[in-house]
Amino acid sequence: MPAVPAPILDRRNLRPGLRLAVAVSGGADSVALLRALLLVAPEIGLVLSVVHVHHGIRGEEADTDAAFVASLAATHGLALHSRDVDTPTAATENRETIEEAARNLRYGFFRELLAAGTVDAVATAHTLDDQAETVLHKLLRGGWTEGLSGIHPQLAEARGAILRPFLNVRRSEIEAWLRALDQPWREDSTNADTVYTRNRLRHELLPALAAYNPQIHTQLAAVATIARDEEAYWQAELARILPQLLLPGKPVRGGGRSASTHPDEASLAIEIERLPAAPALRRRILRTAARQLGVSLNYEQTERLLAMCAPSTGLNAAAAKPPAKRQELGSGLIAERSPRELRLSRSARE
């Protein structure tokens, strides 16, 4: 068999002396990530270990996965950080889906290892295929640039970081390499189950799109990179201008009536005249303001708020209806427009 080159790792965040725990589920992607990191560890000076979470779902299959990962770590003389969790109970208690609960428990363990200083970073094996599936999923459900940013190559934590050095690597490349190495991996039986949206995207929608553009995975991953950079730019702009714009709890000025100051209410005012003209910024300001009151606005709610910021007098006003004076946007969020201010308030009684 011709030699298959090792997948190319993103080395940006791999520095000498880094104590890096590789998150290994036993699947092809994470087994390959471990093998690829083992190849470069001596040259870079990485101190590798393995982290595995037994989620308490998928019965014996998960027991075998855990044993497989333990044996892989032992074969390469690596320390193993393992944790058994009860995903179904956590899902019920926190009203999460099984997938959400498993993810939260998994990342909870990673963050514990980082916070305790046991390791400096945790590497997960997300691939370019995962990135494409995530972006497509966000597009289907409706996503802002932050959602379209998909899986980030690096997540800074309070202490340490979570790294994704395989984000530029195709899953097909990984499997070919493991076969060439004669390295077995564990197949997750739920990966083929088309009950899960993500699996339908992987097995049905993406192959259909690839008939229109064979580079669709790379294109969607490029959307994530572009969206991430755009979002970072606008977030820096927001950090600069928000402190002058959002006026928490201030009374309405400029002739507007005073808003209710019921003790259960949290409120914020925005001076309309000082709002930048660009909708890209206006939307972000409005969404950030709502988020500060604990409400995550969807597109339709954001557009309703945006319309409330239109000029109430002057030439432009003749073309359209005057902006609404008061609207309830859901989740207890109320928007009130006075001549100079837009006030958002949230009743805790909702």
Ligand X SMILES: Nc1ncnc2c1ncn2[C@@H]1O[C@H](COP(=O)(O)OP(=O)(O)OP(=O)(O)O)[C@@H](O)[C@H]1O
Kindly list the residues in this chain that would bind ligand X in the complex (CB under 6 A).
Answer: 23-25, 29-30, 51-53, 55, 99, 103, 106, 124-126, 130
Residue 35 or 106: the one with the smaller Cβ distance to ligand X is: 106
30 known ligand binder: yes
Quote the least distance from Cβ 215 to ligand X, whole Å. 22
Measure the CA angle with vertex 31, ends 177 and 25; round to 5°: 145
Residue 126 or 337: the one with the smaller Cβ distance to ligand X is: 126
Residue 221 or 269: the one with the smaller Cβ distance to ligand X is: 221
290 known ligand binder: no
29 known ligand binder: yes
Quote the least distance from Cβ 71 to ligand X, whole Å. 15
25 known ligand binder: yes
Quote the least distance from Cβ 129 to ligand X, whole Å. 10
Residue 101 or 297: the one with the smaller Cβ distance to ligand X is: 101
CA within 13 Å, CB half, 92 = 3
Cα 181 to Cα 198: distance, rounded to the nearest angstrom: 29
Residue 51 or 297: the one with the smaller Cβ distance to ligand X is: 51
Q: What is the DSSP letter of 77?
A: T
**Could you tell me which residues come within 8 angstroms of residue 78 by beta carbon, excluding any fewer than 6 positions away?**
48, 49, 50
Quote the least distance from Cβ 182 to ligand X, whole Å. 21
CA within 13 Å, CB half, 306 = 18
Is 6 in contact with 36 (CB distance < 8 Å)? Answer: yes
Quote the least distance from Cβ 66 to ligand X, whole Å. 8
23 known ligand binder: no
Quote the least distance from Cβ 75 to ligand X, whole Å. 17
Q: Which of 178, 201, 221 is nearest to 10 (CA)?
A: 221
Residue 227 or 334: the one with the smaller Cβ distance to ligand X is: 227
17 known ligand binder: no
SS3 track for 235-259: HHHHHHHHHHHEEECCCCCCCCCCC
The kind and range of the H/E element at 48 are strand 47-54
3-state SS, residue 100: helix
User: Residue 337 phi/psi, 5° resolution?
Assistant: -110, 125
Residues belonging to the binding site for ATP are 25-30
Residues belonging to the binding site are 25-30
